[in-house]
Amino acid sequence: MLFQIFDAFKSRLHDSNSKVNQVALETMHKMIPLLKDSLSPVINMLIPAIVDNNLNSKNPGIYAAATNVIQALCQHLDTSVLLQPFCTKAQFLSGKAKQDLTEKLA
Protein backbone atom coordinates (compact mmCIF):
# COMPACT_ATOMS: atom_id res chain seq x y z
CA MET A 1 0.00 0.00 0.00
CA LEU A 2 2.80 2.42 0.92
CA PHE A 3 4.47 1.81 -2.45
CA GLN A 4 1.27 2.58 -4.33
CA ILE A 5 0.72 5.83 -2.45
CA PHE A 6 4.27 7.11 -2.86
CA ASP A 7 4.54 5.90 -6.44
CA ALA A 8 1.62 8.20 -7.27
CA PHE A 9 2.93 10.98 -5.01
CA LYS A 10 6.45 11.04 -6.47
CA SER A 11 5.17 12.29 -9.83
CA ARG A 12 3.91 15.41 -8.03
CA LEU A 13 7.47 15.97 -6.80
CA HIS A 14 8.50 16.24 -10.48
CA ASP A 15 5.45 18.16 -11.67
CA SER A 16 6.10 20.74 -14.38
CA ASN A 17 3.73 23.14 -12.61
CA SER A 18 5.99 24.80 -10.03
CA LYS A 19 3.11 25.46 -7.62
CA VAL A 20 2.12 21.78 -7.60
CA ASN A 21 5.77 20.79 -7.19
CA GLN A 22 6.27 23.16 -4.26
CA VAL A 23 3.08 22.05 -2.47
CA ALA A 24 4.12 18.42 -2.92
CA LEU A 25 7.49 19.15 -1.31
CA GLU A 26 5.85 21.06 1.53
CA THR A 27 3.42 18.19 2.06
CA MET A 28 6.28 15.71 2.09
CA HIS A 29 7.98 17.85 4.74
CA LYS A 30 4.86 17.57 6.93
CA MET A 31 4.53 13.80 6.40
CA ILE A 32 8.09 12.86 7.36
CA PRO A 33 7.77 13.46 11.13
CA LEU A 34 4.52 11.49 11.15
CA LEU A 35 5.76 8.51 9.15
CA LYS A 36 9.42 8.46 10.30
CA ASP A 37 11.12 5.10 9.76
CA SER A 38 8.06 3.60 8.09
CA LEU A 39 9.30 5.54 5.02
CA SER A 40 12.35 3.25 4.83
CA PRO A 41 10.87 0.88 2.21
CA VAL A 42 10.16 3.76 -0.20
CA ILE A 43 13.20 5.95 0.50
CA ASN A 44 15.07 4.78 -2.62
CA MET A 45 12.09 5.92 -4.68
CA LEU A 46 11.66 9.22 -2.83
CA ILE A 47 15.22 10.56 -2.65
CA PRO A 48 15.63 10.93 -6.44
CA ALA A 49 12.17 12.50 -6.71
CA ILE A 50 13.00 14.98 -3.97
CA VAL A 51 16.53 15.81 -5.10
CA ASP A 52 16.34 15.76 -8.91
CA ASN A 53 15.63 19.26 -10.25
CA ASN A 54 14.37 20.49 -6.88
CA LEU A 55 17.74 21.09 -5.20
CA ASN A 56 19.02 22.88 -8.31
CA SER A 57 15.79 24.81 -8.82
CA LYS A 58 16.08 28.51 -9.53
CA ASN A 59 12.66 28.92 -7.87
CA PRO A 60 13.52 29.90 -4.27
CA GLY A 61 10.32 28.35 -2.89
CA ILE A 62 11.02 24.96 -4.47
CA TYR A 63 14.67 25.03 -3.42
CA ALA A 64 13.73 25.94 0.18
CA ALA A 65 11.04 23.25 0.31
CA ALA A 66 13.43 20.60 -1.04
CA THR A 67 16.08 21.63 1.48
CA ASN A 68 13.51 21.39 4.29
CA VAL A 69 12.52 17.88 3.17
CA ILE A 70 16.15 16.72 3.15
CA GLN A 71 16.63 18.22 6.62
CA ALA A 72 13.47 16.50 7.92
CA LEU A 73 14.64 13.16 6.50
CA CYS A 74 17.94 13.55 8.35
CA GLN A 75 16.15 14.43 11.59
CA HIS A 76 13.45 11.76 11.58
CA LEU A 77 14.87 8.72 9.78
CA ASP A 78 17.67 6.39 10.72
CA THR A 79 20.66 7.90 8.93
CA SER A 80 21.90 4.46 7.87
CA VAL A 81 18.80 4.24 5.64
CA LEU A 82 19.72 7.55 3.98
CA LEU A 83 23.42 6.91 3.45
CA GLN A 84 23.26 4.82 0.27
CA PRO A 85 20.59 6.86 -1.58
CA PHE A 86 22.37 10.13 -0.68
CA CYS A 87 25.75 8.78 -1.85
CA THR A 88 24.27 7.50 -5.09
CA LYS A 89 22.57 10.82 -5.86
CA ALA A 90 25.61 12.92 -4.86
CA GLN A 91 27.73 11.11 -7.45
CA PHE A 92 25.55 12.23 -10.32
CA LEU A 93 24.47 15.72 -9.23
CA SER A 94 26.08 19.01 -10.11
CA GLY A 95 26.02 22.56 -8.82
CA LYS A 96 24.33 23.55 -5.59
CA ALA A 97 22.51 20.21 -5.30
CA LYS A 98 25.81 18.31 -5.19
CA GLN A 99 27.17 20.73 -2.59
CA ASP A 100 24.04 20.51 -0.42
CA LEU A 101 23.89 16.72 -0.48
CA THR A 102 27.63 16.35 0.11
CA GLU A 103 27.31 18.58 3.19
CA LYS A 104 24.50 16.36 4.50
CA LEU A 105 26.66 13.28 3.96
CA ALA A 106 29.56 14.86 5.85
CA 43 to chain centre: 9
Position 41 scores a pLDDT of 94
pLDDT single digits (tens) 31-83 = 999 999 999 999 999 999 999 989 999 999 999 999 999 999 999 999 999 99
* pTM for this model (two decimals): 0.93
pLDDT single digits (tens) 6-22 = 999 999 999 999 999 99
Look up the domain containing 16 and give its range: 1-104
CA dist 62 and 41 (Å) reads: 25
Q: How many domains does the chain contain in total?
A: 1
Inter-residue long-range contacts of 90-99, CB under 8 Å, 24+ positions, other chains counted: 93/51, 93/55, 93/56, 94/56, 95/56, 96/55, 96/56, 96/63, 97/51, 97/55, 97/56
